[in-house]
């Protein structure tokens, strides 16, 4: 029955399409029905999942369409030039990289680290990769708040664990202030973040990370976790912004 009614909707929309221009639909593959006809019956159109991923970004207040491109990032010293260059290379070579290669931007606040990792995410989204956005504090808060509801919790955490590409923005934000560690990782913190990073490490899934922590600070917080994050950057994709990278500040000097 369901198949019948879907069939009708699709037929109706396809008829309309032949009379009107294709641009009437956001998705010309399914005429915005979300379903396509295959030999074995109906299947979800790829636009369905793309929309779903977009909604997950929007839940955290970011519309991927509004994310600034990498070409709009203006480097202002050697480190930021290198960061931009490596980011471009990461996008270009993504399919040839070792499986699960991370790109991690560390250190000094205000250097545009978030701009760069979101721009990479956007570029990969446009290549139809399933890229998930995880602003660390908000996402961990949501996980902690739902820890008692097993079913929902697993659904939430599995998204981050299994995403084809995961962006973790401002990792350990609540542990750093003005370039210093202000708190330790608690058992509760670890219960939520460790399974995500560990799963991605073990399954060689790529993660893009921005953090105000330096590599030394990551090690101080948790050596095993830092090892898992940094090991997968190789020589090229772990970049520490130093204290000459504070663009916001630099404007006033
Ligand atoms: Zn579609």
Ligand 1 center–CA 126 separation, angstroms: 15
Ligand 1 center–CA 169 separation, angstroms: 30
Identify the band that residue 20 occupies on the pLDDT scale cut at 50, 70 and 90: very low
pLDDT value at residue 253 = 45
- Residue 10, SS3 per DSSP: helix
Ligand 1 center–CA 31 separation, angstroms: 6
Q: Are 53 and 63 in contact (CB under 8 A)?
A: no
Residues 38 and 86 in one domain: no
Does the pTM surpass 0.75? The reply is yes
Among 40-44, 168-172, 216-220, 239-243, which is the least confidently predicted range? 239-243
Residues 140 and 200 in one domain: yes
Domain interval for residue 25: 2-44
Residues 26 and 54 in one domain: no
Ligand 1 center–CA 34 separation, angstroms: 5
Which pLDDT tens digit goes with each residue over 52-98? 999 999 999 999 999 999 999 999 999 999 999 999 999 999 999 99
Ligand 1 center–CA 38 separation, angstroms: 13
Ligand 1 center–CA 214 separation, angstroms: 43
pLDDT value at residue 12 = 56
Residues 219 and 237 in one domain: yes
Residues 69 and 99 in one domain: yes
Residues 89 and 39 in one domain: no
Residues 39 and 58 in one domain: no
Ligand 1 center–CA 50 separation, angstroms: 9
Ligand 1 center–CA 30 separation, angstroms: 4
Residue 77: φ, ψ to 5°: -160, -175
Residues 91 and 114 in one domain: yes
Residues 35 and 70 in one domain: no
Split into its structural domains, the chain has a count of: 2
Give, in degrees to the nearest 5, the angle at Cα 169 between 168 and 173: 110
Which pLDDT tens digit goes with each residue over 187-227? 999 999 999 999 999 999 999 999 999 999 999 999 999 99
Residues 23 and 141 in one domain: no
CATH at residue 86: 3.40.50.300
């Amino acid at each position: 029955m369901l198949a019948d009614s879907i069939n009708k909707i699709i037929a109706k929309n396809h008829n309309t399409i032949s009379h009107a221009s294709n641009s009437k639909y956001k998705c010309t593959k399914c005429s915005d029905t979300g379903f396509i006809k295959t030999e074995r019956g109906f299947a979800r159109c790829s636009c369905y999942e793309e929309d779903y991923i977009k909604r997950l970004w929007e839940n955290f207040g970011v519309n991927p369409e509004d994310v600034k491109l990498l070409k709009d990032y203006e480097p202002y010293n050697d480190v930021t030039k290198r960061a931009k260059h490596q980011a471009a290379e990461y996008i270009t070579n993504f399919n040839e990289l070792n499986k699960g290669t991370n790109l991690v931007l560390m250190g000094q606040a205000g250097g545009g680290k978030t701009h760069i990792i979101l721009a990479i995410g956007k570029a990969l989204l446009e290549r139809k990769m399933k890229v998930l956005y995880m602003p660390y504090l908000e996402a961990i808060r949501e996980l902690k708040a739902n820890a008692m509801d097993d079913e929902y919790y697993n659904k939430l955490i599995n998204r981050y664990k299994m995403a084809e590409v995961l962006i973790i923005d401002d990792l350990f934000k609540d542990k750093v202030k003005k370039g210093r560690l202000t708190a330790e990782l608690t058992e509760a913190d670890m219960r939520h973040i460790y399974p995500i990073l560990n799963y991605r490490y073990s399954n060689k899934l790529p993660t893009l990370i921005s953090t105000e922590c330096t590599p030394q600070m990551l090690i101080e917080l948790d050596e095993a976790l830092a090892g898992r994050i940094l090991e997968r950057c190789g020589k090229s994709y772990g970049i520490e912004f130093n204290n000459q990278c504070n663009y916001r500040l630099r404007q006033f000097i």
